[in-house]
Structure 1
Amino acid sequence: MKKNKKKFIYLFSSVTVLVIGLIIWKTGSNVEEPVEISEEELEEIQEEQVDIQASNEENFENETTPADELKKYETMSNDSILQEIHKMTHQKVMAKHKWGSVEITRQRVEKIYAEIEKKEDFQNQAVILNLLSPWLEGNFDNAVEVHNQVWSIQDGTIGKASRLLTPEEEREYINKHF
């Protein structure tokens, strides 16, 4: 009995030390001192973000998609169209893993929407059209939802989107991939 008690105390002590060590390590490694910025600097940062966002929106409106790329949507399978939408969301969302990129343009969104609308056999048609509807107006606030809904339909297990990219992150993504 004494032997078991000693083992229990040793095990309990070891686990306690380990847990405390992990807590100290975890909290200590992520602690950052708050950065103080002036109102002027904050306004400058906000203006820069607004300018970048405007540039991203202008890119959506003015970037042309080659006619042959738009034409391919007419013969794409339903799964391929979903994959195309999935790849488009990568421009807008943060996810640990992203495979593939397709630039979001007004022409592309309108063509994909029209093709889904035409297809009588498109699984989840109403859901996908509802999700893409704001995109027709240039509103991508639901991009995380679109990504994760399509990802779920495709039985995704890796790369769930967690948040929208900031305008600056999106600009970097556009510059890198397109």
Structure 2
Amino acid sequence: MKKKGILIAALALLAVATLVIYQTRFSYSQPEEVLTQDEFIETFEETEALMEIDGLDRTGVNGNSLEEKILDIMHQMTHQKIVANQKWGAIPMTTRNIEQIESIVSSSKKIHSPQAKKQLIQIIAKWENGDFSEADEDHNYIWKLQNGTLGKARGLLSKEEELLFIEEWFIEGKAEEDN
């Protein structure tokens, strides 16, 4: 009987530990407040804080780019908005970048699947309307097209987290490149 009690206690402890690990590693509650596109524009675009790194011309992507390059650019654009354990690269979600990627995807003959192209255009249309409420799902759709294995999005950044991300990746990162 005593062994059964110890076994039950051990299983209960294991269940609690599993729940804690899941909640800290895989689960992420949606933030109460996110950075709106209007706030982003007022804070960064209208002040020209991102002027030097705005525009996809510097990435080399255009309407003749391979699907992999186009997906990589869109993937990196989502990093500003999402929570993930790993992120490689980031491109600001500026009005200009969104307009440019829309033009590139729309004119591309290199996107293999018509269904994928249609879905990418739908994602960009949401972004053009300032709707990033599904940016984590957008990220994971693109990530799956890229056969991603690490860095799956687990939710959206809060307003404060996104402002910190922008500061670290685009403002300070730009400053470090200039030195």
TM-score (norm: length of structure 1): 0.70
The superposition leaves residues 41-67 of structure 1 with CA deviations (integer Å, 9 ceiling, x where unpaired) of xxxxx9xx68x6453243565444257
Name the counterpart of 2:42.
58
Q: Is the 8 A contact 2:99 2:128 kept in 1?
A: yes
Query: Within 2, Cα distance between the matches of 1:24 and 1:141?
Result: 31
Aligned identity (percent) is 28
8 Å CA contact 1:70–1:111 kept in 2: the answer is no
Shift of 1:157: 1.7
Q: Considering only aligned residues, what root-mean-square deviation do their CA atoms show, in Å?
A: 3.1
Letter of the aligned partner of 2:73 in structure 1? E
Classify 1:25/1:89 alpha carbon distance in 2 versus 1 (closer, same or farther; 3 Å): closer
What residue is the counterpart of 1:18 in the other structure? 10
1:128 aligns with 2:120: yes
- Cα deviation, 1:58-109, whole Å, max 9, x if unaligned, reads 3565444257427643443211110111011010011111111111111111
Q: Is the 8 A contact 2:64 2:108 kept in 1?
A: no
Residues in 2 aligned to 1:170 and 1:98: alpha-carbon distance in whole angstroms = 14
Q: TM-score, normalised by structure 2?
A: 0.70
Higher relative CO (Cα under 8 Å, sequence separation at least 6) belongs to 2
Cross-structure match for 2:136: 144
Match of 1:155 among 147, 158, 161: 147
- 3-state SS of 2:148 partner: coil
Instruction: For 2:161 and 2:12, locate their aligned partners in 1 and report how far apart those are by CA, in whole Å.
Output: 36
2:83·2:156 contact (CA, 8 Å) conserved in 1? Answer: yes
Q: Which runs of 5+ in 1 are unaligned?
A: 1-8, 29-45
Aligned counterpart for 1:105 among listed residues 86, 91, 94: 94
Structure 1 residue 115: Cα displacement = 0.9
Task: Give the unaligned 5+ runs of structure 2.
Answer: 21-31, 171-179
Contact 1:94–1:162 (CA<8 Å) still a contact in 2?
yes
Larger radius of gyration: 1
Given candidates 158, 165, 168, the residue that maps to 1:166 is 158
